[in-house]
Amino acid sequence: MSVVDEPLYPIAVLIDELKNDDIQLRLKTIRRLSTIARALGEERTRKELIPFLSENNDDDDEVLLTMAEELGVFIPYVGGVEHAHVLLPPLETLCTVEETCVRDKAVESLCRIGSQMKESDLVDWFIPLVKRLATGEWFTARVSACGLFHIAYPSASDMLKTELHSIYSQLCQDDMPMVRRSAASNLGKFAATVEPAHLKTDIMSIFEDLTQDDQDSVRLLAVEGCAALGKLLEPQDCIAHILPVIVNFSQDKSWRVRHMVANQLCKLCEAMGPEPTRTDLVPAYVRLLRDNEAEVRIAAAGKVTKFCCILNPELAIQHILPCVKELSSDSSQHVRSALASVIMEMAPVLGKDATIEQLLPIFLSLLKDDFPDLRLNIISKLDQVNPVIGIDLLSQSLLPAIVELAEDRHWRVRLAIIEYIPLLASQLGVGFFDDKLGALCMQWLQDKVYSIRDAAANNLKRLTEEFGSEWAMQHVIPQVLEMSNNPQYLYRMTILRAVSLLAPVMGSEITCSKLLPLLIIASKDRVPNIKFNVAKILMSLIPIVDQSHVGLLDSCTMRRPQLVADGYMHEYRELKNRGADPSMGWQANVDKWSREKLQPPFVALVMDR
């Protein structure tokens, strides 16, 4: 290529690659626009690259999306903010395409560029672009225009501002519901830039039109506008204009609108203030909690604690708690689950007396629910209740239900109980724990599900860290030694796992005197997989035991190659027989089953080798 032709090389390559049939090559080229621009220089980028991109926008949506994103950060490559307006034409074209994600990204890039442009350039270039899009023949242009008004408006003259008000009002009355939805969605941003005098007149007039739209998809977006406008208006104007709309929306014929009100009501309460909340929004919320549609009740139930935080405890007890009692026995399990996920957090809000009298019966009712995820929601947040009612009352009222759940037929519920045990132990104290829960912790070591057994072994380690090695010597080690003789080898494997976890916590003396003899005996087990795991544990104990026992470890681990070989062969056979992938190993297969929410295989009762 000659020296004369060399400056044209980047554009020539760009043209060739953007016409290539391979979409991945075209995407790669678009992502290198900044590199091409640096090669061309600022002037040639403005005069050659940007016009080329404006004319070549007929491509796959993925390529156009990437182009819209790249152009949003292109100001430095065209010569700075003085020349930012040259980026508007290609983005304007992208604002009219059919694909929504491309239009949204183009609008986002236009907003980013417009926020950096000079006021004079905004008036000369940006506002005319907004007007062209807003009056476009195809609805996609009008949809995009709604997201640009908040950038254009502050720099406009008074005459242009009046015109922009009028144009936005027309968009809110557009024949196409998609345009009206976009206008409703962006009204809050536009209103935040409008002067207070126009806010009370023009914007509120537009808002009222949207709240009466015949499409529920428009009205539900107007609900979001209620919260945004409520923060901008004076309190008296907010009560006069926004509050009646919220109350009407809470009784809207469309459940989707009521669902949106339930989701937004806490924000609306903050905008309204305490008195309107007490007189008007509390009754509206009660209606939503008792709505005919389960989806609305789910949304309302999920906000019950946040809503009670806004009220004083007396109001919450008087108006909200009766609805909570009804929801705790709702016909929809999803409603009950949504309530269970937040109800425990109501205890600190309502105080000790109300929690004991009103909430505890609901907690017990939900703990006995047939739906396992619901019970998990209650179990996982018991620590919210303990500081309020005290451990004595918690143990008397909820502990029997927890003990019952420890033997639940759903293994995930049992797993959640195990994971909560260390926290419960620290709250109950060692004496109460031994009396009520100690036996359960050992019982889990012989569960039929591997994940439960493994969690139980970890649980023993955490309890030993909490209560100390002396407690473990008295309550854990004797039972571990006894279980090591279990005829089912998978249970003996669990004991080995427990020993490997307990040894670092128990210290050298107890490990050498109690745990090491157990491992020496296990190294002669007739099951190869047991010997394989013993070899691994013995190697890990070398830093823990004192020097006098290192020789004993060495003599055992001299047989390690044979133990490992036996173990691998046995593990391969076991995994293959269970339909697992032998190349991954047992633990990797268990992790895979957990990710896929599959239950690990039960222990077969015939495995008594």
3-state secondary structure 537-564: HHHHHCCCCCHHHHHHHHHHHCCHHHHH
Residues 6 or more apart whose Cβ sits within 8 Å of residue 422: 459, 462, 463, 466
pLDDT tens digits for 97-135?
888 898 899 999 999 988 888 888 888 888 898 889 988
pLDDT band at 198 (very low <50, low <70, confident <90, very high): confident
Q: Which residue from 381, 304, 296, 313 is spatially nearest to 339, judged by alpha carbons? A: 304
Locate the domains of the chain by residue range. Answer: 486-567
For the chain, how long is the longest CA-to-CA vector? Answer: 95
Give the tokens for residue 375: 């019970």
pLDDT bin (cut points 50, 70, 90) of residue 585 is low
Task: Specify burial of residue 198 (Cβ count, 10 A radius: 0-12, 13-18, 19+).
Answer: middle
In sequence order, what are the residues at sequence separation of 6 or more whose Cβ sits closer than 8 angstroms to the Cβ of residue 595? none
Q: Residue 22 carries which side chain, given as an amino acid letter? A: D
Local structure of residue 59 (DSSP, 8 states) = S
Alpha carbon of 357 to those of 316, 354, 378, 389, 393: distances in Å?
14, 5, 18, 11, 12
- Poorest-confidence range of 50-59, 80-89, 249-258, 296-305? 50-59
Question: Which of 304-308, 452-456, 554-558 has the weakest average pLDDT?
Answer: 554-558
For the chain, the first-to-last Cα distance in angstroms comes to: 80
- pLDDT digit string, tens, across residues 183-193: 888 888 888 88
Q: Is the dihedral of CA 75, 76, 77, 83 positive or negative?
A: positive
Predicted pLDDT of residue 1:
39
pLDDT exceeding 70 applies to what percent of the chain? 85
Average pLDDT over residues 66-71: 86
Query: How confident is residue 604, by pLDDT bands cut at 50, 70 and 90?
Result: very low
265-316 residue pLDDT tens: 888 887 777 888 888 888 999 999 999 999 999 999 998 888 888 888 888 8
pLDDT number for residue 387: 76
Residues 6+ apart with CB under 8 A from 38: 77
Report the mean per-residue pLDDT for the chain. 80
pLDDT grade for 603, boundaries at 50, 70 and 90: very low
pLDDT at 295: 93
When pLDDT is averaged across residues 425-442 and rounded to a whole number, the result is 73
* 427 class by beta-carbon count within 10 Å (0-12 exposed, 13-18 middle, 19+ buried): middle
> In the predicted model, what is the mean pLDDT of residues 359-376?
80
The upper half-sphere exposure of residue 283, i.e. CA atoms within 13 Å in the direction of its Cβ, equals 10
